[in-house]
Structure 1
Amino acid sequence: MSATASISLPGTEEGPRVGARGWAALVVLMLPVLLVSVDNTVLSFALPEISTALRPSGVEQLWIIDVYPLVLAGLLVTMGTLGDRFGRRRLLLIGATGFALVSALAAFAPTAALLIAARAALGFFGAMLMPSTLSLLRSVFQNRDQRRLAIAIWAAAFSAGSALGPIVGGLLLEHFAWGSVFLVAVPVLIPLLILAPILVPESRDPNPGRIDPISIAMSMATMVPVVYAIKEFAVHGITPLVVILVVLGVGVGVLFVRRQLRAETPMLDMALFRRGMFSGAILVNLLSVVALVGFLYYVSQHLQLVLGLKPVQAGLALIPGMAMMIVSGLIVVPIARRVRPQVLVPAALVFSLAGYLVVAFTTHAHGVAPLIVAFVLLGIGIGAAETVSNELILAAAPPEKAGAASAVSETAYELGAVLGTTILGGIITAFYRNSLVVPDGVPEAVAARATETLAGAFSAAAQLPDALGAALRQAAAEAFGTGVMVTSLIGGLLVICAAVIAALTLGRRLGR
């Protein structure tokens, strides 16, 4: 299909229904989804121990989290297109093999720099995993009703993995070194490598056209500078480097779009974005993930460091919210047959807004209960909204372009993860540094560590006499809390923006 062709809405017709083999294939395709979501949550909960063991700077600490989604954001569209051409199952298996091997190496990284490098390699292979799972799901489930339920289960796997991550990670962190959290990937991916060739049929674009290396390079040169500029802005504010990176990324992005519009068989069919339903669903996903990841970045440190919970206890505190995210994603399926997405998604996001308001107007002195309530509300809204938006994204794309469309969806997710950590996490870090009043008597070298990160402050406090260490911990907790209200209000504003976009663009029922 040319870039200027009109877009039909594939998948609205009643296709053939799958049997037990198709649902077994879904279980296999959920394994990498579970892995990625477990990996993200585990890392957030392992961050305090990583900070203590490797002593990263504030910038390195952000990079440990952000380099993985940064690399994914740069490569997802490319990998989605390569999957369309060479086979989505083949790309999935290559990515799973590489991801397992690099995870084992990351577990034994001796320095922050090497851990960052391993996370970057995980991003490379992870970019092969995520578009393949969603696009293969589109090819397995051709019946619209079955596909809607499959997507709800697929989306619930993200939430299930996030819920499982703190428990598994907490148990590992209490008995083993922090590197054990990366080894979780190996037992998850081995069944995938065995069962996927048996249960998951290969699929590809029957007319993929030629490979366009220039477009591949341009897609990366668009995403990486923009995301890196956002990271730099969050830490250092507006600098000449930030301006240069934004200009470079946007400039290359404009050239990329123009090239796709002129190409007979474009790498990314820009006509998809002319459909408001597709673009609106992408933006809803993006903003929802920013709000979710920003919340998790704050709450994982708050529960463990400020409130003093063990990793398992902190994980258990998040279980109700994760459970509600799963439940809401499944409950929304029958509701979506009767209620228009432009009404359903904004209504769901009202719950997420309420969750952020609970955090904004409840200080850190109120303990665990407000955070549990807030995350339950946040989970209800995001679980329902992402199930609906993911189904709309696939429905708007022709089957032969499922990989590219899935890649755009996953790019929005990973970009949202970067933005959630860098912007909301960066705001909290900035408020922390500006608000921290180091008690008198703290040595200069210890004070320097304390002003870098909250984990650094608590680690430094352990080296001081009891009274002085307690004073430093108290000062660090109060400084960290100063950014919570502003950050939560910003998260709530993002949710409002997502609701408005949904109301204006998602004008069809899912069943139509």
Structure 2
Amino acid sequence: MTSAVTGRQPTGRTVPKAGAREWIGLAVLVLPVLLIAIDMTVLGFAVPYLTEDLRPTGGQLLWIIDIYGFMLAGLLVTMGSLGDRIGRRRLLMIGALGFGGASLLAAFSTTPEMLIAARALLGLAGATLMPSTMSLLRNLFLDDRQRMIAIAVWASGFSAGSALGPIVGGWLLEHFHWGSVFLINLPVMAVLLVLLPLLVKESRDPNPGRLDPLSVLLSLAAMLPAVYGIKKTAEYGPQPLPLALLFFGLLMGALFIRRQLHLEHPLIDVRLFRIRRFSVAVATNLMLVFSMVASLFFLTQYLQLVLGMSPIRAGFVLVPGMVLSVVAGFVAVTVARRLSLASVLLIGLLLVATGFMVVTLSSMEQGAVVITVAFLLIGTGIGLAETLTNDAILSAAPPARAGAASAISETAYELGGALGVALLGSLLTAAYRVGLADVPSVPAAEMDAARDTLGGAATVAEGLSAEAGGALLHAAQSAFTDGMHLTSAIATVIVLAAAAQAWFLLRREHTPAAAASASAAEEPEKAAAR
């Protein structure tokens, strides 16, 4: 570290405090986080445009959205472990190059299949970015208080990116082709490649052992078939092939865990899950992101295709909640010094659940104000909870295993996002199809096309007479709104379950910042006693 200033941890161990170079390096590490958050939000706003241009089916549209998350979830553990071995900074730079190339391919895709392939490559490259940034952060900031502030800054990158996404994306979509939302990745990757070697030192596990190829194969064989089986079961109900793939994935997962327990140098240290703070924090992150990403998937379509807003106006509806998420992340650092970990998580999760309950009050006529209030609650709760869960995950792991711990954390994050779109997105699609009854004067072929997606229904309506097209569009908007209410109610239950879990399992746990504050308060008393 560049600074000789030291801080005292709760255990009495003196560690170096971060200096100016570390804090500037943190700003560089936030860039890929910011970019991935922008990508996630921008793509949701681009759905109506790419639907009109590429004409994907409902299943293809869901794959365009969530193949990125599936690839990330399947490869994050492998990439986190690889970064421990070859160097986290080196892996981050390799990933930045790959991410830029895949962005070019996505921007100029001409078919749904080409865009799905490009998104898969983006997921492959993205899997190198996330665990690298988080594990480098863990080794830059060894002091507990500084690390929590750094994590709040890092986590705010997601919220800031989500806030910038609607504005930047809305402007791009109103002036350029939808592929432009991918081209904004290129200058960010260029800045990262130039500044990273200058500001961030290389970091790796000093004794990593060899990478186990069988563990890599088992992790992919567990993740991808299981998620695909869950997705198809949610979309079409129980069927032999999806259920068989789900069972196969679970079996491979069990074999993967068994192998990790017997390896001297496992791909993922599953023993970390024996630490209650770590396991509950990971599960809480997964359930939060599950609900959050699914909400962005359907709210962006609702604002544009039901309420008729332009992309940039729809973006401004969500921006206040995104901004409050950033603010709440820093407030969590202060609150964590006074309240228990369970108390802060409970407050945050209850705010998120309340926000999803408010979404169920939206209508086809006056939903913008309702969505603004709902997203204010959701953003505030997310900001409070995620800063502390990320800190709990990192503080539970030794520095040498930072890559493995951050990979587990990011796997939960990306798997939660992928499952959110796969499950709640598929349930919404299924509810929309069931809710969209036949409309008089609309031919059967056009009705079948309209049932694929809401964007598809809007395209079909444009080719019909004014009366028939209006009736079809109104019916489709009503079916979509009802489906959104259903998925929001399910998200409410999921977040309440996460709140109950966090409260009952972590009631006696304190944040590292609270422990450090208590230790600092005891120092004068101990000195006086001596």
1:170-185 → structure 2 map (5 Å cutoff): 170-185=170-185
Q: Does 1:300 align with 2:300?
A: yes
3-state SS of 1:15 partner: strand
Question: Contact between 1:45 and 1:170, CA under 8 Å: does it hold in 2?
Answer: yes
3-state SS of 1:265 partner: coil
Counterpart amino acid of 1:508?
A: H
Whole-angstrom CA distance in 2 between matches of 1:32 and 1:456: 33
Tell me what 2:25 maps to.
25
Tell me what 1:420 maps to.
420
Tell me what 1:109 maps to.
109
Point out where structure 1 has 5 or more consecutive residues left out of the alignment.
1-8
Whole-angstrom CA distance in 2 between matches of 1:314 and 1:306: 11
Counterpart amino acid of 2:484?
A: V
Tell me what 2:313 maps to.
313
1:98-497 → structure 2 map (5 Å cutoff): 98-497=98-497
Whole-angstrom CA distance in 2 between matches of 1:83 and 1:345: 31
Whole-angstrom CA distance in 1 between matches of 2:373 and 2:270: 41
Whole-angstrom CA distance in 2 between matches of 1:35 and 1:414: 15
Pairwise CA distance, 1:367: 2.4
Structure 1 460/403 Cα, relative in aligned 2: closer, same or farther at 3 Å?
A: same
**Deviations, residues 164-210 of structure 1 (Å, cap 9, x unaligned):** 00111100000111100000100111000000011011000000011
Structure 1 325/417 Cα, relative in aligned 2: closer, same or farther at 3 Å?
A: same
Q: Does 1:510 align with 2:512?
A: yes
Pairwise CA distance, 1:226: 1.2
Whole-angstrom CA distance in 1 between matches of 2:324 and 2:316: 14
Pairwise CA distance, 1:38: 0.3
Question: Contact between 1:72 and 1:126, CA under 8 Å: does it hold in 2?
Answer: yes
Q: Please, which moves more after superposition, 385-394 or 438-447?
A: 438-447
Counterpart amino acid of 1:213?
A: P
Whole-angstrom CA distance in 2 between matches of 1:199 and 1:12: 30
Question: Contact between 1:13 and 1:143, CA under 8 Å: does it hold in 2?
Answer: no
TM-score (structure 2 length as normaliser): 0.93
Whole-angstrom CA distance in 1 between matches of 2:341 and 2:312: 37
TM-score (structure 1 length as normaliser): 0.96
Pairwise CA distance, 1:423: 1.4
3-state SS of 1:365 partner: coil
Counterpart amino acid of 2:263?
A: A
Question: Contact between 1:449 and 1:460, CA under 8 Å: does it hold in 2?
Answer: yes
Question: Which runs of structure 1 show a deviation greater than 4 angstroms over 4 or more consecutive aligned residues?
Answer: 9-14
Tell me what 1:4 maps to.
none
**Deviations, residues 25-56 of structure 1 (Å, cap 9, x unaligned):** 00100110011000000000001101000000
**Deviations, residues 419-446 of structure 1 (Å, cap 9, x unaligned):** 1112111111111101112322223332
Whole-angstrom CA distance in 2 between matches of 1:486 and 1:115: 29
3-state SS of 1:293 partner: helix
Question: Contact between 2:361 and 2:370, CA under 8 Å: does it hold in 1?
Answer: no
Counterpart amino acid of 2:119?
A: R
Tell me what 1:6 maps to.
none
Tell me what 2:519 maps to.
none
User: Paired residues, what number?
Assistant: 504
Whole-angstrom CA distance in 1 between matches of 2:412 and 2:347: 22
Question: Contact between 1:10 and 1:398, CA under 8 Å: does it hold in 2?
Answer: no
Pairwise CA distance, 1:256: 1.1
Structure 1 468/392 Cα, relative in aligned 2: closer, same or farther at 3 Å?
A: same
Question: Contact between 1:338 and 1:509, CA under 8 Å: does it hold in 2?
Answer: no
**Deviations, residues 44-97 of structure 1 (Å, cap 9, x unaligned):** 000110100000000000000010000111100000000001100000000000
Question: Contact between 1:226 and 1:249, CA under 8 Å: does it hold in 2?
Answer: yes
Whole-angstrom CA distance in 2 between matches of 1:423 and 1:510: 35
Whole-angstrom CA distance in 2 between matches of 1:367 and 1:339: 36
Q: Please, which moves more after superposition, 236-245 or 114-123?
A: 236-245
Structure 1 222/95 Cα, relative in aligned 2: closer, same or farther at 3 Å?
A: same
Tell me what 1:5 maps to.
none
Query: Could you tell me the percent identity over the aligned residues?
Result: 51
Pairwise CA distance, 1:10: 10
Structure with the larger RCO, 1 or 2 (CA within 8 Å, 6+ apart): 1
